[in-house]
Structure 1
């Protein structure tokens, strides 16, 4: 019994030591200099759209770690931005108006001791939401609405779309997110009934423009069944690289496997094209293209080799037998872009998902009805002109 008590005592002491050594870790500055560093100096301000750049000279303190700016947005939210001691400027952004705003700039040392603030005044230029709002044009599109506008500062913006339902405007969950200079995007999946819409522009700091109200009737759109697609071989069409590939492979339902691909001659360096018949005449709204993902060490890779980069889509209801472009109309001219804008041969997960889902290219409203389609490759991602396309899908109104 005494031995058990002695063992129990040893165990309790051990546990006490163990638990006492498991204190919560506290991250503290590596140094302990409570003397504040000097203040930044020689400050200059460059006002921009919804923002301002503050440029300064650093103090001479050897233990300087970073410089920060603290300011408030119109909604009361406090903002803080930092730059290391290697930098000499700070971008303060998120302003929704052109009023004067106060910004406090601090130098901070390695002990997290801040200097006295330097108070500066910034007066941002007009927030980009307003320029986009004034330039925005909303028109009926196939199955939805099309928006065109100008965003010269390439600001990250959202076009929010609400629809009148039971006496109040409710979100459609079909917002457009863009940083494009020339906005030209559509939302789809809306009823083809005349509806009242409310449209507003928002930035990522929740600054909103005024609201654009409009009444529009989305145009009818349906999937054009691939069961009626047929290959057409005209005298000027580019032949296939292999007998196992073919134009008809673009509607066999297989978007990824070899040789389920339309692969034209790789030795032809001038623009190439292939032709096919939809089987019925229709007003076309868009084409979705699945390029062929090449086998590379990093895995299946889009935006590579013969994937379409700069290309045109042509249509006609009566193709000339000589293979010429007489009687053909250009339905659209396109340039494919990776979401990541990364270098050739580099593919992010976002890039892969975007291409693997099929890339949609819109046709303008009001084009003539066509039955025959030509895909004309000007430049592929490799820099030549052959095409490697796994699948296509056309949409439109065949009525």
Structure 2
């Protein structure tokens, strides 16, 4: 119960109004109720709610329309202005699915209430339940990978948990998301079987059941930065413009940058030496972090192609010597256009973007990135840092 109390406190500040609020004193107290709603025209059932359309009588002193209904065993209400001809019932839970009555009242400026008119609604499964049902999880390097679907981009919280040494499911991370397709990695764990779990919550205090799965994380380590290096092949470009330098790439200081000069042709490439052949699970790439207004704009990398080889590359940079591993595009969690970011986008910007490798990718010593697109279309590239992860040496 303590955990659910915490959830409620966390999401209370994001609660949206369930209808317009009216604070007015009666203008005319005559005790005469107004006429009731003339007719219910249409009921449009939705996930966790419904929209009711109706016809109002021709009266001059109407103030608002109120709908009363039952949600989770409690009587609740929504209000809309008398200038509206529809009212939306929303935020219903799984136990509210199915047919139920909604009583519609007209309230005049003297706070007199009409006789009710009943509309029948049949809410369908709420979004938070559909998101919960879509969750899957797989073992991953250093933890577990969660995936889910949210095609209508509904804002929800997902709490990712692990079972601790005392046998209690404890929160590892509470994610606020509205991404249509979501993924999240729980990392930093030893390769020991354990329970992972997830709970979905919406802004109306509705909470799903708990998704549970037992997985054994794959062993993962970060490759030591001091063992990683840089090669400048003939068809690469220099990364030393605007106080940038390639040495900033693995220095662990996110305030330092590396930056190309621009105007040197497109695409641009970056060649790395991992020191020896390594089984890579992922690498992390940070956009420029020295100033937040660089987030998702300027020359920050957006799309690139990843190549690998185990042969010492020719100084010419001949691309025929390299094996293409995959294309990758960094995407905003929110899907918002250029120049617009939400809190989820900025958290990912701060944490860095994970670029996962498939399990069947062989070991590579040399990795090459061919940048093909930046966030604002610039032909120069600037970024903050990189880190590589994979299987430890046995």
Give the TM-score band, short-chain normalised. 0.7 to 0.9
Q: CA deviation at 1:291?
A: 1.6
Rounded to whole Å, the distance in 2 between the matches of 1:263 and 1:320 is: 23
Confirm whether residue 96 of structure 1 aligns to residue 89 of structure 2.
Answer: no
Higher gyration radius (CA)? 1
2:310 alignment partner in structure 1: 317
Rounded to whole Å, the distance in 2 between the matches of 1:110 and 1:325 is: 80
Q: Is the Cα–Cα contact under 8 Å of residues 164 and 197 in structure 1 kept in the other structure?
A: yes
What is the TM-score of this pair, normalised by structure 2? 0.76
Cα distance change on mapping 1:337 and 1:197 into 2, 3 Å: closer
Cα distance change on mapping 1:365 and 1:84 into 2, 3 Å: farther
Give a deviation string over 1:243-295, Cα, whole Å, max 9, x none: 74333222233323xxx422224325633321222324333333333222586
Structure 1 unaligned segments of length 5 or more: list them: 1-26
Q: Is the Cα–Cα contact under 8 Å of residues 34 and 114 in structure 2 kept in the other structure?
A: yes
Cα distance change on mapping 1:359 and 1:69 into 2, 3 Å: farther
Q: Is the Cα–Cα contact under 8 Å of residues 40 and 119 in structure 2 kept in the other structure?
A: no
Rounded to whole Å, the distance in 1 between the matches of 2:310 and 2:114 is: 75
Confirm whether residue 397 of structure 1 aligns to residue 391 of structure 2.
Answer: yes
Cα distance change on mapping 1:273 and 1:82 into 2, 3 Å: farther
Q: CA deviation at 1:369?
A: 2.3
Q: CA deviation at 1:163?
A: 4.7
Secondary structure in 2 matching 1:173: strand
Once the two structures are superposed, the pairs formed by residues 350-389 of structure 1 within 5 Å of their partners are 351-352=345-346, 354-389=348-383
C-alpha RMSD of matched pairs (Å): 3.5
1:44 alignment partner in structure 2: 42
Stretch moving more, 151-160 or 371-380: 151-160
Aligned length: 365
Rounded to whole Å, the distance in 2 between the matches of 1:390 and 1:103 is: 56
Give a deviation string over 1:201-231, Cα, whole Å, max 9, x none: 5544455556555331011122222222211
Q: CA deviation at 1:147?
A: 1.9
Once the two structures are superposed, the pairs formed by residues 275-354 of structure 1 within 5 Å of their partners are 275-292=271-288, 300-318=293-311, 320-321=313-314, 322-324=317-319, 326-331=321-326, 333-337=328-332, 339=334, 343-346=337-340, 351-352=345-346, 354=348
What is the TM-score of this pair, normalised by structure 1? 0.76
Once the two structures are superposed, the pairs formed by residues 178-327 of structure 1 within 5 Å of their partners are 178-199=177-198, 201-205=200-204, 207=206, 212-240=211-239, 242=241, 244-256=243-255, 260-267=256-263, 270-292=266-288, 300-318=293-311, 320-321=313-314, 322-324=317-319, 326-327=321-322
Q: CA deviation at 1:151?
A: 3.1
1:23 alignment partner in structure 2: none
Structure 2 unaligned segments of length 5 or more: list them: 1-21
